[in-house]
Amino acid sequence: MGDFAIVAKGLRKLYGGKPALDGLNLRVPQGTVRGLLGPNGAGKTTTVRILATLLRFDGGRAEVAGHDVATQAALVRRRIGLVGQNAAVDEVLSGRQNLVLFGRLFHLDGGRARRRADELLEQFGLDDTGSQPVRTYSGGMRRRLDLAASMILTPSVLFLDEPTVGLDPRGRNEVWEAVRSLVRAGTTVLLTTQYLEEADRLSDRISIADTGKVIAEGTPDELKSTIGGDRIDVVVRDPRDLPRAAAAVARVSGGEPTLDDDRRMLSVQVRGRVGTLAETIRTLDAAGLGVEDIALRRPTLDEVFLHLTGRRTQSADGAGGEEKAGKGGTGRKGAAGTGDGARTEQEVEA
């Protein structure tokens, strides 16, 4: 399958006769990051677990790192790493002890396991804290240790299923940096996330899934341009001016503005770029409408997502985000919290 590190063709997975995956296609070139986005239940985790050989599937085919997922699972496993929601590391042990333990699990001898642990601690910026117990680590440090643990054998393909859920912006940044350094070293990454900003920043290309299929694919820029051109946002000084401002902006842009009363803001899609902005300012000015802020901007991935799936992402919708973060009880989606753990038992191939 050429230079593709991940290929899925018409993947199908049924649960009790109902399709969780319904002909999912994916082709990820080597050495790139692919974001896999989609609303809850779209099939992201199912896809990741199938590609990581943890779950059987009912139709289609898949190759990872050049090997068939169904018939060459052992070969695939040797080439991949997987970071799920639930930390695989031990709280009582230090970061270094955890990594050495993982090295031994992967059959490295003691000396090699220790050397690999030290390399990874350095690579993930944990060399200073490597001898402290993991329970003293911040969320970002734990996630980096998780990543390091998945990298003992330098996987050529790494699956990250919502790697930063529940982390604060700083922790998220730390994980992003770690992922970037892996990609620089040649690893291919498949990343699922609820945070569109994360997908936007890390991904070379993004696949958007819904009801078990990929419904759109492209670079972040390409996806943004599928929902039309740039937008103008206007914040009026006096909220009572909003309807009049909207009417004026509609005339200039030829578009239908959407209003956000709480933020005293209207937003409209425009065709020409700069001309329209200048004209909008002039028109509002001439109508005596006080403007606090006006900006020309590209559509966001959140808007693309909303347009394609009819749903907001959890990161765009604060309440949803909390619910997600709360699922596992600790801000992480623990295996027990989602029922994932229970499902895993019957599904894992021997």
**Strands 59-64 and 4-15, sheet pairing:** antiparallel
343 binds ligand ATP (CB under 6 A): yes
Tokens at 277, concatenated: 């902005």
Nearer to ligand ATP, 80 or 121 (CB): 80
**Which of 176, 228, 221 minimizes the C-alpha distance to 198?**
176
Q: Which of these ranges, 41-49, 142-150, 226-234, 270-278, lies near ligand ATP under the rule CB under 6 A?
A: 41-49
Task: Choose the binding region for ligand ATP from 42-50, 67-75, 86-94, 170-178 (rule: CB under 6 A).
Answer: 42-50
CB 117 within 8 A of CB 110: no
Sorted by sequence, the CB contacts under 8 Å of residue 298 that are 6+ apart come out as: 221, 224, 230, 231
Instruction: Please pick, from the candidates 5, 33, 38, 224, the single residue that binds ligand ATP as defined by CB under 6 A.
Output: 38
Q: Which is nearer to ligand ATP, 57 or 124 (CB)?
A: 57
How far apart (Å, rounded) are the C-alpha atoms in residues 237 and 203?
A: 38
Q: By CB under 6 A, is residue 46 in contact with ligand ATP?
A: yes
15 binds, among Mg ion, ligand ATP, none (CB under 5 to 8 A by kind): ligand ATP
Q: Does residue 87 contact residue 148 with C-beta atoms inside 8 Å?
A: no
Q: Which of 5, 6, 33, 42 binds ligand ATP (CB under 6 A)?
A: 42
Burial (Cβ within 10 Å: 0-12, 13-18, ≥19) of residue 132? middle
Shortest separation between residue 159's beta carbon and ligand ATP, angstroms = 12
For residues 9 to 48, the per-residue mask of contacts with Mg ion, x marking binding by CB under 5 A and - elsewhere, is: -----------------------------------xx---
Q: How far is the CB of 21 from Mg ion (least distance, A)?
A: 12
Nearer to ligand ATP, 45 or 53 (CB): 45
CB of 44: closest distance to Mg ion in angstroms?
A: 5
Give Cα separations from 339 to 18, 48, 60, 195, 221 (angstroms).
18, 16, 26, 22, 36
129: which 2 tokens? 């804290």
Q: Kindly indicate which of the ranges 39-47, 105-113, 196-204, 250-258 contains the residues binding ligand ATP, using the contact rule CB under 6 A.
A: 39-47
Buried-exposed string 8-47: b where 16+ CB fall within 10 A, e elsewhere? beebbbeeeeebbbbebebbbebbbbbbbbbbeebbbbbb
Sign of CA dihedral 340, 343, 347, 350: positive
CB under 5 to 8 A by kind: which of Mg ion, ligand ATP, none does 20 bind?
Answer: ligand ATP
Q: Which helix (H) or strand (E) holds 205?
A: strand 205-210
Query: Which of 41, 169 has the CB closer to ligand ATP?
Result: 41
CB of 339 to ligand ATP, least distance (A): 7
Residue 83 and residue 160 in contact, taking contact as beta carbons nearer than 8 Å: yes
CB of 14 to Mg ion, least distance (A): 17
Report the alpha-carbon distance of residue 6 to residue 207 in Å, rounded: 13
Q: Is 206 in the site for ligand ATP (CB under 6 A)?
A: no
Choices 40-48, 135-143, 176-184, 235-243; region in contact with ligand ATP by CB under 6 A: 40-48
What is the rounded radius of gyration, in angstroms, for the C-alpha atoms of the chain? 23
- Out of ligand ATP, Mg ion, none, what residue 205 binds, judged by CB under 5 to 8 A for its kind, is none
Residues that bind Mg ion (CB under 5 A): 44-45
Residues that bind ligand ATP (CB under 6 A): 15, 20, 38, 40-46, 343
